[in-house]
């Protein structure tokens, strides 16, 4: 069956009517789809009868000095990916279809949105949660699928769903990596060959930390790799390395037991990359 493309709210409603009842899954994306997105679509197909993929580059989650205008837009290629994966509807609204010109109300990510990634991108998670809530309201899925690569985003969406009593199941899909270990990202296309050599130190640092079991040693092992990477050409410019509780994103202590996330963010040239690994501290 062909993919139905809905460019606005009325077209989305008609698409739902045409498909009919069943269990729906939503995979929200900003386009530039890659194998990581394919894995989320496949996971969504296991959870529901019909899969809806949204393609929307959300201006609210970009800061004034970030890459909104530069963010890759490959809609025709994205449609081909969706068709190949059996997606029934692609919802691709314009900014004017998503936000009123005099928009006033937004979602606040609270204190959890101001730490780790949020400390370096003020307001970012407010923009993420606002667009996600709108997409959930518009598509009305039974389940929504997000990638573990954006671990803090996933944790905040789960918290929003719990705090606002939304009748939607949130499923996290594992991070997909290239053969050399680099986490798949739409921004990887900006990396030069030399940039890529440096960027690989992110996953190397996470692996170094993951073999340790005590919080201090985990961060020490990862930081040693990152300090060496800072002397490469081009250098890796670290924003943060954090070991946090996966539900709250508060820093874990030496007494912490159970799951933890080792998260890192850094710039290589003009490209900012994030990565993380889920650990079990016993």
Residue 3 · residue 88 · CB < 8 Å: yes
With H, G, I as helix, E, B as strand and everything else as coil, classify residue 151. helix
Contact call for residues 165 and 136 (beta carbons, < 8 A): no
187 is in an annotated binding site: yes
Euclidean distance between CA atoms 140 and 49, whole angstroms: 14
CA torsion sign for 224, 225, 226, 227 is: positive
| Annotation marks residue 124 as catalytic | no
Q: Give the CA distances from residue 143 to residues 50, 135, 140, 242, in Å, rounded to whole numbers and listed in that order.
A: 11, 12, 9, 30
Token digits of residue 28: 């929200």
To the nearest 10 degrees (0 to 180), the angle between helices 9-19 and 124-139 is 50
Residue 23 annotated as binding site: no
150 assigned to a ligand binding site: yes
148 is an annotated ligand-binding site residue:
yes
DSSP-derived secondary structure letter, 146 = E
Q: Does the annotation flag 36 for ligand binding?
A: yes
Q: Which of 16, 24, 26, 37 is catalytic?
A: 37
- Determine whether the annotation assigns residue 32 to a binding site: yes
Binding-site members for (R)-pantoate are: 61, 153
Active-site residues: which are they?
A: 37
Binding-site members are: 30-37, 61, 147-150, 153, 176, 184-187
């Amino acid at each position: 069956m062909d993919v139905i493309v809905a460019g606005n709210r009325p077209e989305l409603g008609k698409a739902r009517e045409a498909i009919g009842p069943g269990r729906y899954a939503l995979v929200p994306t900003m386009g530039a789809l890659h194998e990581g997105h394919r894995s989320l679509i496949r996971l969504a197909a296991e959870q529901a009868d019909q899969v809806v993929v949204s393609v929307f580059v959300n201006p609210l989650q970009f800061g004034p000095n970030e890459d909104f205008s530069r963010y890759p837009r490959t809609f025709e290629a994205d449609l081909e990916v969706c068709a190949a994966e059996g997606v029934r509807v692609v919802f691709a609204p314009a900014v004017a279809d998503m936000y009123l010109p005099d928009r006033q109300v937004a979602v606040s990510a609270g204190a959890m949105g101001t730490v780790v990634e949020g400390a370096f991108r003020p307001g970012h998670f407010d923009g993420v949660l606002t667009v996600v809530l709108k997409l959930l309201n518009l598509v009305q899925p039974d389940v929504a699928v997000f990638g573990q690569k954006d671990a803090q985003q996933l944790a905040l969406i789960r918290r929003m769903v719990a705090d606002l009593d939304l009748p939607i199941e949130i499923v996290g899909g594992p991070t997909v990596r290239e053969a050399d270990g680099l986490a798949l990202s739409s921004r990887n296309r900006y990396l030069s060959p030399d940039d890529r050599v440096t960027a690989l130190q992110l996953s190397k640092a996470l692996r170094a930390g993951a073999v340790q079991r005590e919080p201090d040693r985990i961060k020490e092992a990862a930081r040693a790799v990152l300090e060496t990477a800072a002397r490469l050409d081009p250098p890796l410019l670290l924003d943060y390395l954090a070991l946090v509780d996966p539900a709250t994103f508060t820093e874990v202590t030496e007494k912490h037991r159970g799951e933890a996330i080792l998260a890192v963010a850094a710039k290589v040239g003009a490209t900012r990359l994030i990565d993380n690994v889920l650990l079990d501290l016993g």
